[in-house]
Amino acid sequence: MSNVNPWVTTNAPQAPTTPAAPVVPATARPEAPRPTAPQPGVPAPDMADRLPQALQHATATVWWLGVHGGAGESTLASLGGRTRPAGHAWPMPARRGITNRVVLVARTNHAGLEAAQRAATEWASGELGDAVQLRGLVLIADAPGRLPKPLRHFAEVISGGVPRTWRLQWHEPWRLGAPVQLDSAPADARSILTDLQLPISADFQR
């Protein structure tokens, strides 16, 4: 018995094959533009949620503003030449016509992220006028290891409201009291200073 199916004509013309469309690799979604200046219509936080303001006669290339206690502003000031810690208050210039460049600093726990969000909102509302130019936000790891998903999402939301965000990883030697020095700091620290175009020097007379 033949194995050929009589209902199939072997000599029937074959339909022309269409070449498969080339696979186009997926491209990364472009990052949404971030604000570089206060935005109209952003309501200022309640007075109880705002940071204090401190009149500053001193000058600095960048002021590190810790938005809560233990944020790490003093640590960053020890690394960056010609920078100063703001003492958890907006550094308002004592002279007219001066604008202070400020970088917010916060830990990556929930309380720290909430404080960063309030400070970013206060800046975006325009309450600080021309006294402050916000350069961005440094998020310093509050614990070793990967940030939990809810905190990662919260950090991404906050990052969308500031000009730039940097991450500084956990550094166990600092926790144990090691001196804060750039040559032994995480690589992230040098990247932050480079992005801000800060001189990498050991000392700055305060």
Instruction: Confirm whether 181 is domain-assigned.
Output: yes
At residue 200 the predicted structure's pLDDT band, cuts being 50, 70 and 90, is low
Q: Buried b vs exposed e over 135-147: b needs ≥16 C-beta within 10 Å?
A: bbbbbbbbeeeeb
pTM, whole model, 2 decimals? Answer: 0.81
Q: How many structural domains compose the chain? A: 1
CB-side neighbour CA atoms (13 Å) of 82: 11
Instruction: Confirm whether 23 is domain-assigned.
Output: no
Range of the domain at 87: 47-195
At 133-145, the pLDDT tens digits run 999 999 999 999 9
Instruction: Confirm whether 21 is domain-assigned.
Output: no
What angle, rounded to 10 degrees, do the helices at 110-124 and 149-159 form? 10
The answer to which of 85-89, 179-183, 184-188, 201-205 has the lowest mean pLDDT is: 201-205
